[in-house]
Amino acid sequence: MGLVLYDTLQRAKVDFVPATPGHVGIYACGPTVYADPHLGHARGPVVYDVLRRYFLHRGYKVRFISNITDVGHLTDDADGGEDKIERRAKLERLEPMEVAEKYTWSYFDAMAALNVLRPSIAPRASGHIPEQIELAERLLKLGFAYERKGSVYFRVRAFPEYGKLSGKRLEELRAGARVEVREEKEDPLDFALWKAAEPGHLMRWRSPWGEGYPGWHIECTAMSLKYLGEGFDIHAGGIDLQFPHHECEIAQAEAAGYRFARHWLHHNHVLLEGEKMAKSTGRLVLLHDLLRAHEPMALRFYLLQTHYRSPMDFTFTGLEAAKRGYARLLQAYREVREKRRTAAPGTTPELERALDALERDFLAAIEDDLGTPEALAALFAFLPELHKLLPEAKGDTLERTAQVFHTLGEGLLGLFPERVLEEKVSGPLLEGLIALLLELREEARRAKDYAKGDLIRERLKALGVVVEDTKEGPRWRLEAS
């Protein structure tokens, strides 16, 4: 069986067939970098990372593009309000590009902690102004756009297929559209490809229409076509982007005469108390706070426990349960790795059969529209069998078991990076252990067992921990090496 994906454009699950055999091109809309990322921002990247890992597992060459929006995204998500980056720059008294840089790295760091593979390219909108101008010029020449006072708008009426992705009808949209004061547009549905910069607007570039900045939608059309070419395989993003962002992307590309994305994937939202987690509303849990307090892989596991097309309500209770689930899997994997060192060579047929079933069920789940909850369920279903057979299991089968854990758990789900497999003793634990030894030493001295007290001090010294007795009690420091 091959991969089946739910394509928003076709409103059905479809067989995935790449445009070029052996290659896959994916474009996933990235964040607007004006604040630290929240948990919602991790969902798309983690899900599409599994998609990418699946293709890698199947031997495809994957080009994965995820943009950084550092210009053009206005506060009302349409053509009004302030630029989100610029508003933040004024608040923080920074250059707009300082804001973008700061939060781009905040985002990248969080993604690295979550074991998300780095995009092949993470193009910035501000680095692709000429490409966006060129596309706007082409649309003007073809009659799909018009200029008004230095701004360029897309003429939605000229593109009858507008609405085909989101299933919205033009007439309904028009009836509900807000007509702005000083409206420059021919039609309230028209959207900006380029905006004239008002006096005082910081982010501005020269264009054939005067100084200005690009609209939000045009960056993704320009950059996806530049790096993935016409008719690329998959375009992905959150469901909030279906309309207007992705609808506009399609209109811009196809009106300009380019074949655009062949498949559209949309992930549902992470919610907080029933509503979308979002920067603009402040209803959020920051990723960095979660990553500091919890094992990042447990957080990744938590995100993968819900199917990407279902909403996911974040709760701390849910996260705690996910931590326990993840710990069970990790512990089983560690035990297998430990046991295989000492096991006698040979195979254990019963365990081999359980592994066959696991691999089959796991891959079937992933291939059915990225069924990560079912894939995790297949791993859990394997555990009782594993625990039963582990004590007597033979080396060759254990070697395969470790390999299967690695391939499915890390290769495909990205849940077991080397870091979590090493049982290293780190800072807080070490300090706790030294404190415990010093307490035992004090106890020995109080019981006048000076020999034991000295022994503890000598042994610590041999390890490079110097203990000094002061009036306030014993203190320790590391010997300078």
Ligand X SMILES: Nc1ncnc2c1ncn2[C@@H]1O[C@H](COP(=O)(O)OP(=O)(O)OP(=O)(O)O)[C@@H](O)[C@H]1O
Applying CB under 6 A, among 241, 255, 329, 390 the residue interacting with ligand X is 241
From 35-43, 331-339, 379-387, 445-453, span contacting ligand X (CB under 6 A): 35-43
Tell me the three state secondary structure of residue 262.
coil
Distance in Å, CB of 271 to ligand X, minimum: 7
Taking phi over 0 as left and psi of -120 to 50 as alpha, with beta for the rest, 123 belongs to beta
Nearer to ligand X, 274 or 428 (CB): 274
Backbone angles phi, psi at 3, to 5 degrees: -80, 135
* Binding-site partner at residue 330 among Zn ion, ligand X, none, CB < 5 to 8 Å by type: none
The C-alpha angle with vertex 29 and arms to 75 and 190, in degrees rounded to 5, equals 50
Distance in Å, CB of 246 to Zn ion, minimum: 7
Tell me the three state secondary structure of residue 151.
strand
Q: Note the residues at the interface with Zn ion (CB under 5 A).
A: 29, 220
From 3-11, 199-207, 237-245, 321-329, span contacting ligand X (CB under 6 A): 237-245
Q: Are strands 151-154 and 191-196 parallel, antiparallel or unpaired?
A: antiparallel
The C-alpha angle with vertex 471 and arms to 469 and 473, in degrees rounded to 5, equals 55
* Binding-site partner at residue 220 among ligand X, Zn ion, none, CB < 5 to 8 Å by type: Zn ion
Distance in Å, CB of 311 to ligand X, minimum: 8
Residue 270 lies near ligand X (rule: CB under 6 A): yes
Applying CB under 6 A, among 8, 16, 27, 31 the residue interacting with ligand X is 31
Nearer to Zn ion, 62 or 220 (CB): 220
Nearer to Zn ion, 24 or 220 (CB): 220
What burial class does residue 23 get, using C-beta atoms within 10 Å of its C-beta: 0-12 exposed, 13-18 middle, 19+ buried?
middle
Nearer to ligand X, 269 or 394 (CB): 269
Residue 340 lies near ligand X (rule: CB under 6 A): no
Nearest to 309 by CA among 371, 351, 379: 371
Instruction: Give the other-Cβ count within 10 Å of 161's Cβ.
Output: 11
Backbone angles phi, psi at 422, to 5 degrees: -75, 125
From 160-168, 235-243, 354-362, 473-481, span contacting ligand X (CB under 6 A): 235-243
Nearest to 332 by CA among 435, 406, 242, 258: 406
Applying CB under 6 A, among 152, 277, 329, 404 the residue interacting with ligand X is 277
Distance in Å, CB of 276 to ligand X, minimum: 5
Residue with smallest beta-carbon separation from ligand X? 238
Taking phi over 0 as left and psi of -120 to 50 as alpha, with beta for the rest, 257 belongs to left
- Chain residues binding ligand X by CB under 6 A are 29, 31-32, 40-41, 43-44, 237-238, 240-241, 269-270, 276-280
